[in-house]
């Protein structure tokens, strides 16, 4: 291999080496091939799904509405390839530039804009954000929440052409949460409001984004203390320091029962219990076990529209040409028109 070829190969592989995280492709979107490659990356946008994990992952995957999704247990799922455009920001503006999808990475976090997230989830968010910051050479203030960039469409109660910023992901603007994510800075002003391109439609949200409102402080105050106590230790820093801190904090938390202990011991959502009985092999068996057809896949009706969050459950079945396929084995990219979806009624 020539020296020039070797250097070129290393340059291509470098971005992948940075993402040395355990990222699942289980919900990788079939929309990937049709999405354009971004010309630039100026922001990392943090969202809250405002819905449970399973339904959120199904929707994000089907529509390609994020680059990554992080569940409560810290599991990271790849939805759209990180250098392509994901349709996550919606109606958006940042420093006069609209369509934030064209220059940002979107991370959906399972949870709600006004509720705390488990420590395992915050650690996973922090790790992914740190890697993406290195990869795209971004500063802390370029890690924003959806509230920093999104704005609402007009409605009958609003006479102007928008309704101001939206609350999605607003907890990621709060100092206590950003501290847990290892972020020391955030945007100081809304330049679009300053330039009168947008108006303030939600005064409380403005105080969260650019003031000192922090409703998460009490939830994460106890998590900050071990980190302060660890400062006197001689440490080389970096990722190994982060892992040692995580272990020390876990040991100290286990020593004193409290509300924090309950948060630290949150377990992943229970997986669907699969019956020990052999899977049905025919339509006759499905009927005998109480299954009924809920609908047929058509260009207008996707599997998720018919079966909701159960579309890829192991106890949902698809049939076509007398073949029976369980929901956890069906490939959404190869789903055929006319497939019958069977649910236990």
Model confidence at 43: pLDDT above 60:
yes
What is the C-alpha to C-alpha distance for residues 304 and 302, in angstroms, rounded to an integer?
5
Q: What angle do CA 16, 107, 129 make, to 5 degrees?
A: 55
Question: In terms of Cα–Cα distance, which of 33, 50, 19 is closest to 85?
Answer: 33
Q: Which of 28-37, 228-237, 323-332 has the lowest mean pLDDT?
A: 228-237
| pLDDT tens-digit map of 49-87 | 999 999 999 999 999 999 999 999 999 999 999 999 999
Ordered by where they begin, the domains of the chain are: 18-264 (3.40.80.10), 283-344 (no CATH)
Q: Which of 47-56, 145-154, 215-224, 283-292 has the lowest mean pLDDT?
A: 215-224
What is the C-alpha to C-alpha distance for residues 264 and 257, in angstroms, rounded to an integer?
11
The CA-to-CA distance between both ends of the chain, in Å, stands at: 62
pTM above 0.85, yes or no: no
What is the C-alpha to C-alpha distance for residues 330 and 144, in angstroms, rounded to an integer?
36
Helix (H) or strand (E) holding 32: none
Average pLDDT over residues 317-338: 83
Q: Which two tokens stand for residue 82?
A: 């990180």
Model confidence at 235: pLDDT above 70:
no
Model confidence at 181: pLDDT above 60:
yes
> Look-up: residue for tokens 């929440």?
145
Average pLDDT over residues 325-329: 85
Say what the pLDDT of residue 229 is.
Answer: 42
Model confidence at 303: pLDDT above 90:
no
């Amino acid at each position: 291999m020539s020296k020039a070829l070797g250097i070129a190969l290393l340059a291509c592989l470098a971005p992948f080496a940075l993402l040395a995280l355990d990222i699942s492709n289980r919900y990788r979107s079939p929309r990937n091939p049709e999405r354009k490659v971004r010309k630039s990356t100026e922001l990392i946008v943090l969202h809250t799904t405002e819905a449970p994990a399973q339904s959120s992952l199904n929707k994000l995957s089907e529509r390609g509405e994020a680059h990554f999704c992080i569940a409560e247990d810290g599991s990271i799922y790849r939805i759209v390839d990180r250098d392509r455009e994901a349709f996550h920001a919606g109606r958006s503006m940042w420093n006069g530039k609209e369509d934030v999808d064209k220059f940002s990475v979107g991370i959906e976090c399972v949870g709600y804009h006004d509720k705390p997230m488990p420590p395992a989830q915050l650690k996973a968010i922090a790790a992914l954000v740190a890697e993406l910051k290195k990869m795209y050479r971004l500063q802390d203030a370029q890690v924003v929440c959806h509230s920093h960039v999104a704005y609402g469409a007009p409605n009958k109660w609003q006479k102007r052409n928008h309704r101001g910023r939206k609350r999605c992901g607003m907890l990621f603007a709060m100092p206590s949460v950003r501290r847990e994510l290892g972020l020391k800075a955030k945007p100081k002003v809304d330049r679009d409001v300053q330039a009168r391109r947008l108006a303030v439609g939600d005064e409380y949200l403005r105080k969260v984004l650019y003031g000192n409102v922090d409703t998460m402080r009490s939830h994460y105050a106890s998590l900050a203390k071990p980190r302060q106590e660890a400062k006197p230790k001689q440490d080389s820093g970096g990722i190994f320091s982060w892992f040692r801190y995580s272990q020390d904090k876990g040991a100290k938390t286990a020593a004193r029962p409290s509300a924090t202990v309950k948060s630290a011991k949150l377990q992943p959502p229970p997986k669907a219990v699969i019956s020990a009985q052999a899977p049905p092999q025919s339509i006759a068996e499905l009927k005998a076990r109480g299954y009924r057809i809920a609908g047929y896949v058509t260009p207008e009706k996707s599997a998720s529209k018919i079966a909701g969050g159960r579309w890829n459950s192991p106890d949902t079945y698809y049939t076509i040409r007398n073949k029976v396929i369980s929901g956890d084995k069906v490939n959404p990219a190869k789903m055929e028109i006319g497939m019958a979806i069977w649910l236990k009624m």
